[in-house]
Structure 1
Amino acid sequence: MTSPLTLPGWRHVYSGKVRDLYVPADGSTPSGAEERMLVVASDRVSAFDSVLEPGIPGKGVLLTTLSLWWFDQLAGGDGGRGIPNHLVADHVLSADAVRELIPTQVAGRAMVVKRLDMQPIECVVRGYLTGSGWAEYRESGTVCGIRLSAGLENGDRLPAPIYTPAFKAPMGEHDENISFERTIELVGEARAHELRDLSLEVYERAARTAEAKGLILADTKFEFGLDDAGVMTLADEVLTSDSSRYWDAATWASGSTPSERMASFDKQIVRDWLAAHWDKQGAPPELPGEIVERTAARYLELLERLTS
């Protein structure tokens, strides 16, 4: 993984597989700004718990642009009630002049956000049967322990969206699917219900928006945190190709095989190639240029279709 950038006015504190997190450098921001953080989306791409080379050119900009668009929609732009999010102003007034807080090196792929007390729950909502849910259903007739009706096929729409939370594991470990009852043990009953209800509301609103654009939002995951006033706040990225599974609605309806029906607008192209060319031992191979280009095109197509 490449070293994080040195950014004027910001101090690097953390790097994940894709994102880098910064806090204000000492004395570099006006009073109150210590609550701000800078989230930078890189072009890095990961699969099977490994960061791959090369990255996907422009991916950080595409993910950030889509997150910002969705935050705007969910703030009431889609006609629904406003869902609080972690975005704050990306500029301040300094000596009667506007000073941008996002450094030029990361313009277009960074968000200025407020610090939150992040909840230890990854809030997953599934509207369709696929992925690990399909594997579990074939074995036991359940998805994350939730009993489903018999006779469903891979890629089928569920009778109603289901909430399947996970416990956010420490860096380098796998998230753990948990029951709703376990969520109550972790965060308390009232907060567990709030997380579930908010997640289902956001999913259903986003799914309707996607449907109007000829897209299916098969599943997604959200993260929430509490702000200083105790308000549950939508955080991190939201409804991007990295956190969500989108399919083309027409192809889903007419496709004759699962791979045709569920061709997703994300890094599935990378996963498929890597699964066929790597045994998960040692360092992963370098991605071919054609795989990188195809993946970048799918990310861009999703952004254009949703926002046009």
Structure 2
Amino acid sequence: MRFNGGMTDAAALPGWTLLYSGKVRELYTSPDHPGEVLMVASDRVSAFDHVLEPGIPGKGELLTTLSRWWFEQLYGVPNHLARASTGDLPEAVAQRAMLAKTLDMYPVECVVRGYLSGSGWLEYQQSQSVCGVALPAGLNDGDRLPEPIYTPAWKAPMGEHDENITFERTVELVGAEVASALRDASLDIFTRASAIAEGRGIILADTKFEFGADPGTGELTLGDEVLTSDSSRFWDAELYEAGGPRRLESFDKQIVRNWLKTNWDQTGTPPTLPAEIVAQTAARYRELIERLTGK
């Protein structure tokens, strides 16, 4: 079995069994690691609910490296990492995999927005609110919000679209105590991460977190990837302050989305990405990591 976009032959993962295959990563289990899963990130890139060809070289390693770095920065926040080192990871995927504790995941994507952009901007133009959170009049795309807002989404079953929901709906889904804990933890982590990013000339505009409960203790635990280019919107602070057409350029796959909007009507199979688009996207991923980590 070979996966596209940089994944490895199953033979290269002896003792591991594929549990789940998503658009951009796989989960594996092993009898030698009870209560743990191997999360392997691929180089695949998706946009508009399609996996595109070709992948972005090195993307899986870059995003995994960034998640590990952020977990280290967020000292005191319980996370899903089973081990801090890569010593127990299969050699073939060691640089793009995390060994994670199995969690009872909550069906909520915990989105925090410090700036008005993306789907939030589109919703604001219709209702002057985002996910039930009323906002001041007169805001423009990219404006900083008076304070970060929590705008959760319901994690839909595989094959369906996630749905923005109100905080009250999260209470219905997970109960008042857990809903409040998810909101408070998300806002706290966002505030801490924003300060770290700003110190490196980067704006964290918005991001999403996923949490689960530790099966043994019930402790709220940060899982999945965290504060990566695929889960967050990062901007260059200097370009943002200067204004102009590059003000909201993000360190992610926006280059891919922009090219597709111009060259594809979103029907049928998406076109193959040109080499220059792939190279530019890879460069943006690398630049963010270099700016944040200094490596």
Short-chain TM bin: over 0.9
Counterpart for residue 289 of structure 2: 303
Residue 149 of structure 2 corresponds to residue 162 of structure 1: yes
Structure 1 residues 130-139 or 291-300, which shifts more?
130-139
Residue 111 of structure 2 corresponds to residue 107 of structure 1: no
Q: Secondary structure at the match of 1:65?
A: helix
What is the root-mean-square deviation in Å for CA atoms of aligned residues?
A: 1.3
Deviation of 1:5 after TM superposition, in Å, equals 3.3
Q: Can you give the 5+ residue segments of structure 2 that lack an aligned partner in the other structure? A: none
Asked whether the equivalents of residues 71 and 85 of structure 1 are also in contact (C-alpha less than 8 Å), the reply is yes
Q: Can you give the 5+ residue segments of structure 1 that lack an aligned partner in the other structure? A: 77-81, 92-98
Q: Pairwise mapping of residues 1-308 of structure 1 onto structure 2 (< 5 A)?
A: 2=4, 5-6=9-10, 7-24=13-30, 26=31, 29=32, 33-74=33-74, 76=75, 82-89=76-83, 100-227=87-214, 228-257=216-245, 260-308=246-294
Counterpart for residue 79 of structure 1: none
Structure 1 residues 192-201 or 140-149, which shifts more?
140-149
Deviation of 1:4 after TM superposition, in Å, equals 6.2
Which residue type is aligned with residue 19 of structure 1? R
2:117 and 2:267 map into 1 onto residues whose CA distance is 27
Encode CA deviations 1:71-112: one digit per residue, 9 max, x unaligned.
0000x2xxxxx0000001277xxxxxxx94311111200000
Which residue type is aligned with residue 20 of structure 1? E
Encode CA deviations 1:102-153: one digit per residue, 9 max, x unaligned.
1111120000010000000000000000011111111221112211101111
Change (3 A) 1:4 1:145: farther
Q: Secondary structure at the match of 2:210?
A: strand
Asked whether the equivalents of residues 56 and 281 of structure 2 are also in contact (C-alpha less than 8 Å), the reply is yes
1:144 and 1:196 map into 2 onto residues whose CA distance is 13
Q: Which runs of 4+ in 1 moved over 4 A?
A: none
Q: Secondary structure at the match of 1:108?
A: helix
1:5 and 1:197 map into 2 onto residues whose CA distance is 41
**Normalization by structure 1: what TM-score?**
0.91
Change (3 A) 1:37 1:87: same
Encode CA deviations 1:12-63: one digit per residue, 9 max, x unaligned.
0101111100000x4xx2xxx3111100000000000000000000000000
Asked whether the equivalents of residues 4 and 12 of structure 1 are also in contact (C-alpha less than 8 Å), the reply is no
Q: Secondary structure at the match of 1:160?
A: strand
Q: Secondary structure at the match of 2:95?
A: coil
Encode CA deviations 1:215-250: one digit per residue, 9 max, x unaligned.
100000000000121000000000000000000001
Which residue type is aligned with residue 27 of structure 2? L
Q: Secondary structure at the match of 2:192?
A: helix
How many pairs align?
287
Asked whether the equivalents of residues 36 and 114 of structure 1 are also in contact (C-alpha less than 8 Å), the reply is yes
